[in-house]
Amino acid sequence: MFTPKGKFGWYELMTSDTQAAGKFYSEVVGWTTQEMPSEGMPYTIFNLGKVGIAGMLNIPGHTAWVGYIAVDDVDAHIEKVVEAGGKLLRPAADVPGMLRFAVMSDPQGAAIVIFTPNPAMPSPERPAPPTPGTIGWHELYTTDLDGAFDFYSKLFGWTKMMDMDMGEMGVYRIFDQGDHKEMGDGGMMTKAPYIPVSCWNFYLCVDSIGGAIERVKSGGGKVVNGPMQVPGGGWIINGQDPQGAMFSLVGTRE
């Protein structure tokens, strides 16, 4: 799971029904689930082949995806986040032999997790996007685009690649997490009125977006927006899983 500091390195689904959610995402994106031994709250891993891509927790009454951003010192970074206007939602804790983490929010209220991996933790290499089952894009919906970008730029070293004029939707800011991808790592935009709070959304890679749409619908999920073609030739949808968590898909072909 090791990820260079300043980058998303893990993703977690909080859901009211881990069995149903596990079945849904396995069918839609091709993951398999693996129950992890735990003395506390049960934890499920979403695997792509033999490599972990994301995790899942059963939290009744709460359904959402959250992303983990790697930092070199969780406790020192908590102070930096709070000084920059963010909030500490859950104090730092250790997952023995794996990582130390803290749940926080940015100044506009979008939840993030910061984490420092244990150097001894196994870190098998993951397939790279757009391999189906990987996470191919990170998208922030926020109440203050410039303020949010300033926060992530100062705290994690992200850089602006370009601003795209989206008409009535406003500016779409493409950012880079330091790995200099041609198309960037994600985008930020002012949230639409139907999105209740500032939040992160993650795009799961699939092959054909049309085939994935059918799997979403047959699995009890909803397509909220799309399909739409995006710059670079890919196709996307925004959706909700059967428990209500927002997610998106990006396919290399229609």
Integer CA distances (angstroms), 214 to 210, 218, 231, in order = 7, 6, 23
pLDDT confidence of residue 2 = 53
pLDDT confidence of residue 231 = 86
134-252 has the same fold as 7-117: yes
Integer CA distances (angstroms), 220 to 60, 210, 213, 223, 239, in order = 19, 16, 11, 10, 11
Q: CATH code for 7-117?
A: 3.10.180.10
Q: Is 32 helix (H, G, I), strand (E, B) or coil?
A: strand
pLDDT confidence of residue 21 = 98
pLDDT confidence of residue 236 = 97
Q: Is 119 helix (H, G, I), strand (E, B) or coil?
A: coil
pLDDT confidence of residue 173 = 98
Domain boundaries, given as residue ranges, for the chain? 7-117, 134-252
Low-confidence ranges of the chain (pLDDT < 70): 1-3, 180
Q: For 153-186, how does the pLDDT look when each residue is reduced to its tens digit (9 = 90+)? A: 999 999 999 999 999 999 999 999 987 677 899 9
CB 121 within 8 A of CB 99: yes
Overall fold of domain 134-252: 2,3-Dihydroxybiphenyl 1,2-Dioxygenase; domain 1 (3.10.180)
CB 98 within 8 A of CB 36: no
- The H or E element spanning position 214 is helix 209-218
pTM of the full structure: 0.95
Separation of alpha carbons 154 and 150, rounded Å: 6
150: DSSP letter: H
Q: How far, in whole angstroms, is CA 75 from its chain's centroid? A: 22
Cis peptide before 122 (omega within 30 of 0): no
